[in-house]
Amino acid sequence: MTDWTDPDTFAQALEEVETKEKGNCFEDFEEGDLIEHDPGLTLTEWGNEQWMSQTLNHDPAYWRSDAAAERGFDEPPIHPDYLTAATLGITVEDLSEKGGYFLGRTDVRFPESPVYAGTELHVESEVVNCATSSSRPEYGIVSWRTRGKDAETGDVLCSYERTNMIPRREPMATDGSGAAAAEGDGDGPELPDEFVAPEGGYYEDFVEALEEADDRDAAVAYRHERGRTQDDVTVASLPLATLNTAKQHHNVDVMADSPSGNIVTYGDVTRSTALGHARSDEQTWREVGFDDESFHTFVAVGDTVYAFTRVIEADDDASSDEAGTVTFEHIAFNQDDEPVYSGTRTAEIRKRSN
């Protein structure tokens, strides 16, 4: 009788049996496909607080009822970063579990009304583009438009367009033109002569700093002191709490043979941590949206995530008289000063009370 647990027998069995695969390859996606993601997720107070605490997002309006009421909320709402991460996490099983690198995201938008704990999230994605990677024949590049909806009302709570590198079943022939282009044109850095930092975190502080920089060779740009070293909680626990099944975040065994050689931080954790650092130096009123988000290199356990902010423009127009609108570029970087994430963010920033 076969002893299936005999190590040699078992090793041979493992080699010969079929593996029930998870996830989809590049060839499985076709432009126009609509994918309904199941399971959905109920956005909970616990999940929200776990996400916010570990990414250093401490805006009191999301933690305390008095601060929430002051912002016009019925109770502390679900944080937009957790909502974004949960909307993406649920999609991983269908879209990128095969090992797709999260390259970037744009047009991240939230409605004006807050989302509260207890909301059941239903998420769907449409394939909007499938492209060949000219530098990596073993991958294709796929973009999806994703919408996270309130399962009860159908209201869209978070939407965005995201792009991943997705493994192919069969590698493509390539002329390598992408790799050559990536070598760069050899130009040195082009930075302004001066940097201006806002005095405080209110809307008027950003306007004054932009005015000071105007007509001079200056930029409004500064770094944030806080850093967050990545550990098992940020790398493995937070993505799993959003039902993100990407092996990059929790399977050390498989990742040992990957380019990173280790499990890596979920892009939304890296980004939310950097945004948490930035928000700790401003009076955020409301998140409006994010564009041109890119993930430049891996973040792994032991790496520390810092943040740098550049203020692009300010506009008096906002959904409330108590705030103005500011557009920022945020860059997350590691302990070696390498950029790991960048993106533009539009947020309403509280005005000083008169």
Ligand X SMILES: C/C(=C\C(=O)SCCNC(=O)CCNC(=O)[C@H](O)C(C)(C)COP(=O)(O)OP(=O)(O)OC[C@H]1O[C@@H](n2cnc3c(N)ncnc32)[C@H](O)[C@@H]1OP(=O)(O)O)C(=O)O
**Residue ranges that bind ligand X, judged by CB under 6 A:** 88, 92, 96, 100-104, 133-136, 141, 163-165, 178, 182, 246, 248, 264, 266-267, 294-298
DSSP H helical segments within the chain, as ranges? 7-16, 45-54, 65-70, 80-89, 92-95, 177-181, 203-213, 232, 238-241, 252-255, 267-279
d(CA 297, CA 315): 33
- Least separation in angstroms between residue 51's CB and ligand X is 15
Question: Is 65 or 129 the residue whose CB approaches ligand X more closely?
Answer: 129
- Least separation in angstroms between residue 292's CB and ligand X is 8
Question: Is 92 or 221 the residue whose CB approaches ligand X more closely?
Answer: 92
Question: Is 209 or 263 the residue whose CB approaches ligand X more closely?
Answer: 263
Q: String of b and e for 166-194 (b: at least 16 CB within 10 Å)? A: bbbeeeeeeeeeeeeeeeeeeeeeeeeee
Helix (H/G/I), strand (E/B), else coil: 285: strand
- Least separation in angstroms between residue 107's CB and ligand X is 12
Question: Is 28 or 204 the residue whose CB approaches ligand X more closely?
Answer: 28
- Least separation in angstroms between residue 341's CB and ligand X is 8
- Residue 103: both structure tokens together: 């390259």
Question: Is 188 or 259 the residue whose CB approaches ligand X more closely?
Answer: 259
Q: Is residue 78 a contact partner of residue 116, using CB atoms and an 8 Å limit?
A: yes
**Torsion on CA atoms 211, 294, 234, 23, rounded to nearest 10:** 150
Whole-Å CA distances, 224 to 186, 297, 300, 333: 30, 20, 21, 11
- Least separation in angstroms between residue 171's CB and ligand X is 13
Question: Is 125 or 325 the residue whose CB approaches ligand X more closely?
Answer: 125
Q: Is residue 143 a contact partner of residue 171, using CB atoms and an 8 Å limit?
A: no
- Least separation in angstroms between residue 91's CB and ligand X is 8
